Amino acid sequence: MEVRTRFAPSPTGYLHVGGARTALFNWLYARRHGGKFILRIEDTDEKRNTAEANQVIFDGLNWLGLDWDEGPDKGGPYGPYRQSERGDIYSKYLAKLEAGGHTYVDGGAIRFRSPRKPVVVEDLICGRIEFDMSNPATHPDMTIRRPDGSWIFHFVNVVDDIEMKLTHVIRGEDHLSNTPKHIELYQALGAAPPKFAHIPLILNHEGKKLSKRDGGSSITYFLDQGYAPEAVANYLCLLGWSPGENRERLDVPEILSLFDLEKINRRNAIFDLDKCFWLNGQHILAMGLPRFAELAKPFVDKAGVPYGTEEALMRALAIVKAKVKHLSDVPAWIGFLFTEDFAFDAEAVEKTLRKPGAAGRLAALAEALGGLGDWTHANLEAKLKEAAAAMGVKAGELVHPARVAVSGRSVGPGLYEIFEVLGRERTLARFGRAKAMAAE
């Protein structure tokens, strides 16, 4: 039987990392087993649904690389894939329940009559759980349709999973208590339930469920801050799942080859933004320059960095890649390379350029570099060290003021790489400007 999983978000706000992880686990399981991953929009709550929230879901999933086989935008054999467009289907299933004597009217609402029998859930993660449904006080008959004609989540969720032939329902553990109600509906409708797998909750450092108030709880946060999607996907996988052998940095293809529900643990996962930040740096460091450029360019363009040609941009990105931890920081790392109107850090100017003798050493270095033949990293480094030896000072006495002279800062990419990207003329012109500043 073909594996079919789904992600069924409600477009009522933002894409929570918990929802994104649920989507990711469903996507991984379907892809791992050669099955189908379905996107279904549960938009029955008209008052809370917005077009913007719909778009956030699509953008977030696409950014993470979670492509779906069937959905609102792609169609498929079991559509429509928005609950707001499936009213006739729900009415048909309600009629089936009514014909079987499983419903009754209560104050205008239609309720499902519980059989009041124990329900056993054979969960692929949580194990075998038996629910006692006999007490109406603790397990009241659920409403399936409100007096105003709108549908309740539990009913339409089950109907859609039946209609869309879902084989596995992988969702957060907070839905576990709903599962016996859903199984009762499956049984009343004469349908075989899918296999259930309830994944652990994501908690903050206080042990509370991760909420909007917690930093990094939204996928939009990672988009805006300049995280690499592969790093975020990697981190989300580690929230409740482990490949073993204390491995942490994993590429998505590698995760795909290892992922299975048996490796998901029962413990709730603690969300650690610092660890995600670390993983992001590791992924950026490991990725090739073309991928780095692909991810960084939107931030560079948005900041209006006047890089001119693609070739010039690639040269600049190549010398900062090892330093970058957030892609949103790239404009600040490379901006000084493309304009002479860059800012100077006041503390760096005071500590290095205005240090006694700094102006003279910069002048001597400028003269030494001006006569250099090939303007390459190796030659530039050798010439600077030669000039330092001739002056009787350590190389750092030239490196530090030279760095501030050409970049305005005391930290940044490698000095000789900066020289190479700027070229001889611009480097020496910046030396001249810095000498004037040092003499002020």
Catalytic residues: 212
- Tally of CA atoms within 13 A in the half-sphere of 39 that contains its CB: 22
On whether the CB atoms of residues 40 and 147 are closer than 8 A, the answer is no
CB 7 within 8 A of CB 26: yes
Rounded distance between C-alpha atoms, residue 69 and residue 166, angstroms:
13
Task: Tell me the residue type at 333.
Answer: W
Reference 174, options 141, 198, 204; nearest CA is 198
